[in-house]
Amino acid sequence: MSFDVDVTLQRGGRSFEYRFRTEKGGLTALFGTSGAGKSTLLDMIAGLVRPTSGRIAVAGETLFDSAARIDLPPEHRRCGYVFQDLRLFPHRNVRENLLYGWKRARPEHRWLDVPTTLEVLGIGHLLARAPRSLSGGEAQRVAIGRALLSGPRFLLMDEPLASVDAQRREEILRVIERVRDELRRPILYVSHDRSEVDRLADRVIPIGAAGTTSPPAP
Ligand SMILES: Nc1ncnc2c1ncn2[C@@H]1O[C@H](COP(=O)(O)OP(=O)(O)OP(=O)(O)O)[C@@H](O)[C@H]1O
């Protein structure tokens, strides 16, 4: 089992309910209209937003359980998160951004090396640059690299290819496929691009207008 989610969240007068279970690893795409609550769900799995109640487990480990009073801090969840708005550290250069999680990961958890990451993402020439000097596509590739290099057990990717051009997109898609198939890391993936989802996703979870998900999915 990879993602096992059954949570509620009351926020701003709205009620969100998410309930799904994926029996196998692979890539799970989240589909839903703007404002439906996809990023909110990723934030809860990452430990950045606290659910009102319920339980979240990934790859068999409980990350949150309100009844059992379990709420692992984000840094203990081993989650690689590519944020929709990237959130590169503005006061650190590209090298420092990329190595932030890498330095903090245990050596045995690092499943991708730095040279390979730089080559695949085409960001080796940007190492000394400040995030504010990067183009949208460059910043997006650095954000993907930072997430992959942190030695994560699972990945949360919120529109990770939104500003990447066609040629680089193909290379990054191949990396994501490798992470999915060879390294067998579970991935939760938000995208509005149908062709991306058709190519990558093992299953699609619809997120409804009120943040509700369908019954457990295979
Ligand atoms: N901190 C907050 N306080 C109150 N409401 C919030 C907060 N953060 C987000 N929301 C609201 O929660 C709802 C879900 O937001 P979320 O960003 O999860 O949607 P989304 O499905 O990811 O949308 P998009 O596809 O546009 O990125 C939105 O109506 C948003 O305005």
User: Does residue 175 lie within any of the structural domains?
Assistant: yes
User: Does residue 215 lie within any of the structural domains?
Assistant: no
User: Does residue 148 lie within any of the structural domains?
Assistant: yes
What does the pLDDT read at residue 217?
46
Mutation to probe ligand 1, out of 10, 17, 38 (largest number of atoms < 8 A from CB):
38
Q: Is the CB of 32 under 6 A from ligand 1?
A: yes
Number of domains in the chain: 1
What does the pLDDT read at residue 211?
65
What does the pLDDT read at residue 216?
45
Distance of CA 147 to the CA centre of its chain: 8
User: Does residue 211 lie within any of the structural domains?
Assistant: no
User: Does residue 213 lie within any of the structural domains?
Assistant: no
Would you state the structure tokens that stand for residue 210, as one six-digit string? 């009120």
Q: Is the CB of 159 under 6 A from ligand 1?
A: no
ipTM for the predicted complex: 0.95
pLDDT tens by residue, 73-82:
999 999 999 9
User: Does residue 123 lie within any of the structural domains?
Assistant: yes
Q: Which helix (H) or strand (E) holds 16?
A: strand 14-21
Domain that holds residue 45: 3-206
Q: Are 175 and 120 in contact (CB under 8 A)?
A: yes
Among the atoms of ligand 1, which is closest to the Cα of residue 43? 18
User: Does residue 218 lie within any of the structural domains?
Assistant: no
Q: Is the CB of 150 under 6 A from ligand 1?
A: no
User: Does residue 216 lie within any of the structural domains?
Assistant: no
φ, ψ of residue 127 in degrees (nearest 5)? -55, -35
Would you state the structure tokens that stand for residue 110, as one six-digit string? 């690092």
Q: Measuring from atom 14 of ligand 1, which residue has the nearest CA? A: 37
Would you state the structure tokens that stand for residue 173, as one six-digit string? 């898609």
Q: Is the CB of 78 under 6 A from ligand 1?
A: no
Distance 9 CA to ligand 1 centre (A): 12
Mutation to probe ligand 1, out of 11, 15, 159 (largest number of atoms < 8 A from CB):
11
Q: Which helix (H) or strand (E) holds 199?
A: helix 194-200
- Give the CA distances from residue 98 to residues 85, 92, 104, 213, in Å, rounded to whole numbers and listed in that order: 16, 10, 11, 34
| Spans of the chain below 70 pLDDT | 1, 209-211, 214-218
Distance 37 CA to ligand 1 centre (A): 5
Distance CA 82, CA 204 (A): 19
Place of tokens 């009102």: 52
Measured distance between the N- and C-terminal CA atoms of the chain, rounded to whole angstroms: 10
CATH of the domain at 49: 3.40.50.300
What does the pLDDT read at residue 210?
63
